[in-house]
Amino acid sequence: MDRRKFFKKGTLLAAGGALFGNPISGLATTMDYDISVKGKRAKNIIFMVSDGMSSGTLALSDHFQNRILGHRSVWMSAYMDNKVTRGLMETSSASAIVTDSSAGSSAFGGGVRVANGSLNVGANGEQYLPIWQKMKRKGKKIGVVTTVTATHATPAGFNVNNNSRYSEPQIAIDYLNLGVDVVMGGGDEFFNEDKREDKRDLYEDYEDKGYAVVKTLNELKQTGKNKPILGIFNEGALPYQLDRKNTPELEKTIPSLADMTKKAIEHLNTSKNGFALQIESGKVDWAAHANDLGGLLFEQIQFDEALKVALEFAEKDGETLVIFTTDHGNANPGLIYGKTADKDFETVAKYKYTNEWILNQIDNSYSPNKVRELVDEYLGFEITSSEAHHILGYYSNIEKEEQGLYNYKHLPYEGFANMQKKHSSVGWISMDHSSDHVEVAAFGPGKELLKPFVKNTDLHYLMLQAAQIENKF
């Protein structure tokens, strides 16, 4: 094939974000790849997304693992050992400097910037073929693994075209029709006939197409390599890792991201033509939206554990490109300077549950003292009686209920996080996405294609070039 023509075409497509009103389209150009030298082909691609990971989240996770667990994070170790190519990435969508997850994933998936809320569909209805469909058409097995609903924005962006990220019941059908070989995460409500509006039993439909349908960790472990896998382990998202590891029943029944990653690779690696796998730690983003420190740290650590699985496989395999990054920043947490900051941050090691879990225990029957006891027992710090009264005000409608993405029960996330800050020395700038230039790294064949500064759409074409797949579909 004429690879120069291939990437000339790719550059034009990637630049297409300007057609849809990208407010900063002129600030970042598409990669000008040097394609005169043909490198080693990447037979397999693993694309890993820590959704909503600001650079502060990465730093906090590394500090915690270094100071409390006695080792550096896998992500930072890859940097320190000089095993990867590293860059910064601009994350804007076609409609805004600050992207949402669907537009962010579509940039990776379709190679063109689209408006927030859309999945690989342009302003005038243009549909951009998602990259996992391109890989499937070349004979590769494809898969998605996430800690939120399997049909959520990030996994969907690698596979489907839809005007709305919220069309999750349809996306569950799309995965079946497209033949996605591995689908794992939460979202029982989108597959279960008792919960779907159309009463369609998608579990049965997947089984009829030869899928192994699994709903527990034990069932996942017992699944063989020869069948495609639908693993749906919860209604809604999977539990936070911190809550899971301190709740025996959850730890027994719900797989970790590393568990799912290992099984997904095991199945997909049976393909003679290779595979493409997208892995997401989706609740890093959810915890950032809630300013939930324990939730955030342990979701990022969970991502790190899955990253270790992927990198160890890739290092042994020698034919696998691993890309790890995020789709955007969120809330920009950071350890704030002070005489007791180090000591304060180390108290996070005492956390047994997330703020979400704690706040869900409280109801109108609680006294201020009972609230204080709850916080002390499960988070290891003391709040004042006045603060306990303030928290209870949210449950008796004295205080105005909090809104916010994924705050379905209107819990007092922000109010509680502000109290927690005094004890952890970790602060936040907001409870929403941010426009950070974010970290991106690559390991394996094709890693040399990653430039120091890229647009999110560039990664689409990097994967195609690394896999030596011509962009003609």
CATH of the domain at 264: 3.40.720.10
- If one counts the domains in the chain, the total is 2
Residue 271 domain-assigned (yes or no): yes
Q: Are 348 and 298 found together in one domain?
A: no
Q: Are 366 and 380 found together in one domain?
A: yes
pTM here is 0.92
For residue 21, the model assigns a pLDDT of: 38
For residue 39, the model assigns a pLDDT of: 76
Tokens of 307: 């990253």
For residue 38, the model assigns a pLDDT of: 65
Q: Are 190 and 304 found together in one domain?
A: yes
Judge contact between 325 and 48, C-beta under 8 A: yes
Residue 458 domain-assigned (yes or no): yes
Q: Are 285 and 181 found together in one domain?
A: yes
Q: Are 174 and 70 found together in one domain?
A: yes
The domain containing residue 354 runs over which residues?
A: 335-427
Residues in CB range of 324: below 8 A, 6 or more apart: 48, 49, 50, 75, 307, 310, 440, 441, 442, 443
Residue 473 domain-assigned (yes or no): no
For residue 396, the model assigns a pLDDT of: 87
Q: Are 212 and 357 found together in one domain?
A: no
Residue 472 domain-assigned (yes or no): no
Residue 110 domain-assigned (yes or no): yes
Q: Are 217 and 352 found together in one domain?
A: no
Handedness of CA 171, 173, 179, 185 (dihedral sign): positive
Q: Are 286 and 353 found together in one domain?
A: no
Q: Are 325 and 384 found together in one domain?
A: no
Q: Are 253 and 213 found together in one domain?
A: yes
Q: Are 325 and 345 found together in one domain?
A: no
Residue 381 domain-assigned (yes or no): yes
Residue 142 domain-assigned (yes or no): yes
End-to-end CA distance of the chain: 14
For residue 442, the model assigns a pLDDT of: 98
Judge contact between 328 and 104, C-beta under 8 A: yes
For residue 401, the model assigns a pLDDT of: 76
Q: Which neighbouring-strand residues pair with 141?
A: 275
For residue 398, the model assigns a pLDDT of: 75
Query: φ, ψ for residue 90 (rounded to 5)?
Result: -90, 135
pLDDT < 50 stretches in the chain: 1-37
Residue 62 domain-assigned (yes or no): yes
Q: Are 54 and 91 found together in one domain?
A: yes
